[in-house]
A and B are shown apart, each in its own frame.
Chain A
Amino acid sequence: MVLIAGAGYSGILCAKKLLDLGFSVRIFDYKEQGGELAVFSKIPEFKEHYESFINEMKSTLGYLKVEKGCVVSSNPVKVLTPKGVEIINDKVIIATGAVDCNPWVFGKRPPGIFSPETAIKLIAEGYKIGTKFLLAGQSEVLNLLEVILSKDFEVERTRSAEVYVHGDKRVEKVEAEGREFRCDTLILFRGRKTFNPKSLIGDLVGNAVVCGYDYSAVRKNVEEFINLKYRSK
């Protein structure tokens, strides 16, 4: 039996590959399945960009049963499920994915400052998150956001993630790289990190390792992991 914490792209891909190799698998997620790709699939431009990964995941979800449960500790594995606390004496694959680093800034901290992750999730829910944008930092996800936002709004870019913000009720002005940008919304990318708030110990895999927005790197990591740890056995 192999346990997997997290039913996003990595967890589901792991499960698929392990099932193919003849292992029995239990996969848990504290929320709905699909991770951030499920969010991406709600925005046309993101859906197109990540299409092959979304399709790959969806086809697996057809025959995979994801259980609702929070994996809160490893060694032994403790899962909080709607039916109660379950203790499982087995190792766990940690496919909990990545999360954007907090978009902290110098200066004031008025409303209107988002990480790309929060911005994408809000856009996916149909929110208008601003009218005049500054995208700060370096990431392919900002390029995608620029494409989407510049259809309807004014968008400026700066490569620096070190910014100084002015404004009280809302972002009014941002200083970066010696320049001043007038905007009401700042999307700030400070990098991504492993999402593992319960500090689970075990095999980290997929975006929990890659920590990015590049899903081909995530796929590669999962494949290498499975080859190394399971195929050889």
Chain B
Amino acid sequence: MKDIVIIGAGVTGGFIAKELSKFDLDVLVVEKKLAPGLEQTKSCSGIIHPFQLPFKLLRSKLCLEGNRMMDAEAEELGFEFKRVGLITVATNLLTFLAIPFIILYLRKHGVFAKPIRKKKLLEMEPNLIEKAYGGVFIPSAGVVNPVEMTAKACLFAKLNGVEFLYGCEVVGIERKGEHFVVKTNKGEFETKVVINCAGIYADEIAKMVGYEMKIIPGKGTHVVFAEKGFNRHLVVAIPLKPNKRTKGGGALIGFDGKPLWGPNLIDVESKEDTSVKKEEIEGIIAKFAPLFKTTPKEIIAVYAGLRSIAGSDFVINEPVKGFINVAGIQSPGLTAAPAIAKMVLQMVSKHFDLRRKEKIARLPKKEKSEEEICRSLESDEIVCFCNMVTKREILEIAKEFKCLDGVRQITWAGMDCEKCKAEIVKLIGDKVLKDREGGEIAWF
């Protein structure tokens, strides 16, 4: 008998598992994919948002709290997190005049923001158009690699006793007295509490205990450019009228400094529809290019992810005693994840007499100094020169997660160019993919 089964190892499931791993609980996480964060989490923008409007929403409160917690989380788990800051640009007189009000409004809600004059603005973002009037700088905005962040949370949880089953799909949940039986393709698990973190499929899981909700997939398309440093902050134009459903995307950057523009918001029918249309990419470029003197060099990737939208807010509730929904986690779910985990811990504490473990294990620190790269040249091998990822690092992650996509997303090896992709396939493919269906054909 398990104490808790968490369904889904996306960023919310991962962070809840991490938080629960600090207590004397028997926790199991089941994940359909072969590594954490490979559905919704992987294809988000990787932005740690400074705020979410309107401030009265739960997702807004959790966003603010999560943003504040993020430095400590990055420190605890050892993932890369940079507060690069958000610049909202006034592109016309009207929005320029609104700047003092925006700043007052944000500060009133605890978000530090300061005005920037045109000269300073162009110093901060030299590629910005000359006719920008000025802007607002919000330094608390940041960037992460969402899959790394999730994987580190999962690895931390595993190190502290949480069990993870990958490639494990839930097919049904049954009541058994006070408890639940979670049925999967890898067996049945009896548990006292179920936490539903199934992302885009959370409505289908909720239905298994008789709770009706509807998740509408909201597609977000992104375009990634090769030119690192083209924009150095997250850049958006101050909208004349805010859109209630989306922050509207921006000329963002990835955690590695590559320009990452988007996302848009398109309602789609299917939970599998992550297709990217040409007109979507053209639309994103047409939207953000007017902010800059030029467009960044060379598109290197386009991708779309799905937001799980269940109305205007997150759905975190306990409709059936012992069944906790963490559903409808749309943007800013990545930012909110640590705060969601804290909230869920509170909900879980009603079911158990929580006792904190005396010893909590930490993941080994991984700083990549030049001296370490030198050492790795001696006994190891650099596979990805762009991001300085070694053979050993790749194999270590491949030992945990038997999936090429997962290993690449977590280590960021081969994410910039074509140089080392074949070598990664060879490294992981030989060891991991042979026994998989279709594994005799190289998989990329």
- Tell me if B178 is interfacial: C-beta within 8 Å of chain A: no
CA distance A222 to B408 in the complex (A): 35
B442 touches A128 (CB 8 A): yes
Q: Which of B302, B303, B382, B422 contacts A118 (CB 8 A)?
A: B422
Interface residue stretch chosen among A47-55, A102-110, A144-152, A209-217: A102-110
Q: Name B's interface SS.
A: mixed
In the bound complex, how far is the Cα of B278 from the Cα of A106, in angstroms?
6
Q: How many residue pairs bridge A and B at CB < 8 Å?
A: 115
Residues 23-58 of chain A: 1 if any B CB is under 8 Å from the residue's CB, otherwise 0? Answer: 000000011000000000000000000000000000
Given A85-B371, A197-B416, A108–B386 Cβ distance below 8 Å? no
Whether a CB of chain A sits under 8 angstroms from the CB of B444 is yes
The answer to whether B302 and A30 touch across the interface, beta carbons within 8 angstroms, is: no
**B93 contacts A by Cβ under 8 Å:** no
**Interface residue B124 (Cβ < 8 Å from any Cβ of A):** no
B186 is an interface residue with CB less than 8 A from chain A: no
Known: A129-B442, A131-B441, A169-B438. A84 touches B371 (CB 8 A): yes
A70–B385 touching, CB < 8 Å: yes
Cβ-defined contact, A81 with B418, below 8 A: no
A174 to chain B, nearest CB (A): 13
5 contacts between A and B (CB under 8 A): A102-B301, A115-B418, A122-B442, A125-B422, A129-B441
* Min CB gap B230→A, angstroms: 13
Residue contact B377 to A70, C-beta cutoff 8 Å: yes
Instruction: Give the contacts of B257-312 with A (CB-CB under 8 A).
Output: 272, 274-278, 281, 298-303
Q: Which of A181-201 contact B (CB under 8 A)?
A: 184-185, 193, 195, 197-198
Question: Which residues in window 162-190 of A have CB below 8 A to B?
Answer: 162, 164, 168-170, 184-185
Q: Cβ of B444 and Cβ of A111 under 8 Å apart?
A: yes
B416 touching A82 by the CB < 8 A rule?
A: no
Which residues of A sit under 8 angstroms from B276, Cβ to Cβ? 106-107, 109
Is A229 in the interface zone, CB < 8 Å from B? Answer: no
What separation, in Å, do the CA atoms of A31 and B384 have in the docked complex?
Answer: 10
| Contact A80/B418 with A30-B385, A101-B298, A113-B444 known, Cβ cut-off 8 Å | no
Contact A127 to B301, CB < 8 A, known contacts A80-B377, A197-B385: no
Name the distance in Å between A118's Cβ and chain B's nearest Cβ: 5
| A106-B276, A115-B418, A118-B421 known; A81+B374 contact, CB < 8 A | yes
Measured CA separation A169–B441 after assembly (Å): 12
Known contacts A30-B382, A118-B444, A129-B442; is-contact A102 B377 (Cβ 8 Å):
no
Q: B421 to A30, Cβ gap below 8 A?
A: no
- Considering only residues 70-96 of chain A, those with a C-beta below 8 Å from chain B are 70, 72, 80-85
Give chain B residues whose Cβ lies under 8 Å from the Cβ of A68.
377
**How far is B129's CA from A89's CA once the two chains are assembled, in angstroms?**
39
Write the nearest CB–CB distance from A38 to chain B, whole angstroms.
13
**B245 interfacial contact with A, CB 8 Å:** no
Docked complex Cα distance between A82 and B421 (Å) = 24
Name 4 extra pairs, CB < 8 A, besides A81-B377, A99-B417: A99-B419, A109-B274, A128-B442, A129-B441
0/1 interface trace, chain A 126-160, chain B, CB 8 Å (1 if under): 01111100000000000000000000000000000
- For residue A119, which residue of chain B has the nearest CB? B422
Chain A residues, Cβ within 8 Å of B381? 31
B444 touches A101 (CB 8 A): no
Query: Is B418's CB under 8 angstroms from A117's CB?
Result: yes
State whether A104 touches B418 (Cβ < 8 A).
no
* Of the residues A82, A100, A130, A197, contact of B378 by C-beta under 8 Å: A82
Q: Which chain B residues border A31 with CB–CB below 8 Å?
A: 381-382
A65 in contact (CB, < 8 A): no
Contact status B417-A195, CB under 8 Å: yes
Decide yes or no: A195 and B419 within 8 Å by CB, A30-B382, A125-B426 being known contacts: yes
Contact (Cβ within 8 A) B426 A168: no
- Please measure, in the bound complex, the distance between the C-alpha atom of A70 and the C-alpha atom of B375, giving whole angstroms: 12
Which residue of chain B is the closest to A102 with respect to CB atoms? Answer: B300
A127 near B438: Cβ-Cβ < 8 Å: no
The answer for the CA separation of A95 and B426 in the assembled complex, in Å, is 26
Find chain A residues with CB under 8 A from B386 CB: 197
The reply on B71 being an interface residue by CB < 8 A is: no
Q: Which residues of B contact A100 (CB under 8 A)?
A: 417-418
Least Cβ–Cβ distance between B431 and chain A, in angstroms: 14
**Contact status B444-A112, CB under 8 Å:** yes
B443 at interface (Cβ–Cβ under 8 A)? Answer: yes
